[in-house]
Amino acid sequence: MNYFSSNFKLGILGGGQLGKMLLNDTRKFDIYTCVLDASNEAPCKIASNEFHLGDLMDYDAVYNFGKQVDVLTFEIENVNVDALEALEKEGVKVYPASQTLRTIQNKARQKLFYRDNNLPTSPFTRFAYTSEVKEAIEHGSLTIPFVWKSAQFGYDGQGVKIVKSVSDLEGLPNVECIAEELVPFKNELAVIVARTPSGESKNFPVVEMEFHPEANQVEYVICPARIPEDVAQKAIDVALKTSEAFNHVGLLAVEMFQTQNDEILINEVAPRPHNSGHQSIEASYTSQFEQHLRAILNLPLGRTDSKVGGVMVNLVGSEGYSGNVVYENISNIMGLDGVTPHIYGKKQTRPFRKMGHVTIVDQDINMARKIAEEVKSTIKVISE
């Protein structure tokens, strides 16, 4: 198949920042793209060849869009999987596969998958409704503390609650959920694995993720993770095994906990480019976005080692500001060594909305981490 400057059409479901960064690479290769998103202001709108407006959860919207392309991928998990399955049956190449997405979309099903495939994850119980969690505590079959997770539609820490007393359950939606053992982890790690339809796999280095304590959202990503070699190797082995178990095609970001005993437990996976790989744009020989394209198009995978240490800091909307976005002090941080800002192009800010990120490269990873803190405290994402 000739993808370059040809009639080939790549469809992308979702028009957010991940799609926008993927489009830098389709532009680089001159691969024709069609993007479907529900918002006329989606970051992808200006960079795709064709922009289609439609609801990603709507069967007809996804099916009709998919019929017009040769390979279909997605940059967001919340899409209509029945439509993907129908398209696969009719010969459209959907990568990653609908079956994988169906498993991942539901956290209870995802955890069962790990259990069934002997992949390490923390113990959990599934509940049809949150109200049953309360009953389980009363009957003594569930003990506090634990982590409550909505089975569906959670993202960026929405739909996750650490329950330390029964009152923490108040106000949670009465939906299908899991109660997961609270892991007192040393570190949160991630490994992105790329796999082609022919089964070639390559992993990016292990990264360390530092989370914002209130927002439950990644604040800094540090590549490489500052952990012992044998622990890093263990994390890589788990990630490769996970990608293999899904028979995955495309990128799979595997988020893991490093426990106090240096065991590795899978937290969750994302079958797409991921926040934990953004630093690869500046710091790696091949960015995660280029690698995703190579993987889903069955092209040879690129080098995944880093040219330099990289730290990524997310730019999220400041608390107390909603409305038309204004970025303050971007030019100041560009005066710091090795600093590159990425602005996603979302018009409206709100507290903790991901509006952009900044990559800091340095031979010394601790220096990069220090500059990242300066970046974080200097840039302000506010409203007019």
Is 129 among the residues that bind ligand ADP (CB under 6 A)? no
Residue number with CB closer to ligand ADP (157 or 302): 157
| # residues contacting ligand ADP (CB under 6 A) | 20
229 is annotated as contributing to ligand binding = no
DSSP for 126-137, please give it.
EESSHHHHHHHH
Q: Which of 359, 335, 381 is nearest to 275 (CA)?
A: 359
26, 267, 304, 318: residue in contact with ligand ADP (rule CB under 6 A)? 267
Nearest to 200 by CA among 232, 248, 155, 141: 248
CB 312 within 8 A of CB 358: yes
Q: What angle do CA 248, 191, 312 make, to 5 degrees?
A: 125
Report if residue 160 touches ligand ADP, rule: CB under 6 A.
yes
Assess 120 for contact with ligand ADP (CB under 6 A).
no
Q: Is 328 annotated as a binding residue?
A: no
The dihedral over CA atoms of 315, 319, 325, 331, expressed in degrees to the nearest 10, equals -50
- Residue closer to ligand ADP by CB (options 168, 181) is 181
CB 11 to ligand ADP: min, Å = 25
Q: Is 188 annotated as a binding residue?
A: yes
CA proximity to 270, closest of 120, 124, 104, 119: 104
Of 198-227, binders to ligand ADP (CB under 6 A) are 211, 216
- Residue 268 interacts with ligand ADP (CB under 6 A)? yes
Nearest to 21 by CA among 293, 372, 348: 293
Decide whether 98 or 150 has the Cβ nearer to ligand ADP: 150
Residue number with CB closer to ligand ADP (86 or 193): 193
Quick one: 73 or 267, whose CB is closer to ligand ADP?
267
Does position 180 interact with ligand ADP (CB under 6 A)? The reply is: yes
Q: Does 157 bind ligand ADP (CB under 6 A)?
A: yes
Task: Give the C-alpha separation, 312 to 223, whole Å.
Answer: 9
Q: Give CA angle at 281 (275, 284), nearest 5°.
A: 110
The residue among 97, 265, 305 whose CA lies nearest residue 195 is 97
Residue 91 Cβ vs ligand ADP, minimum distance, rounded to whole Å: 32
List residues binding ligand ADP (CB under 6 A): 122, 147, 149, 154-160, 180-183, 188, 211, 216, 255, 267-268
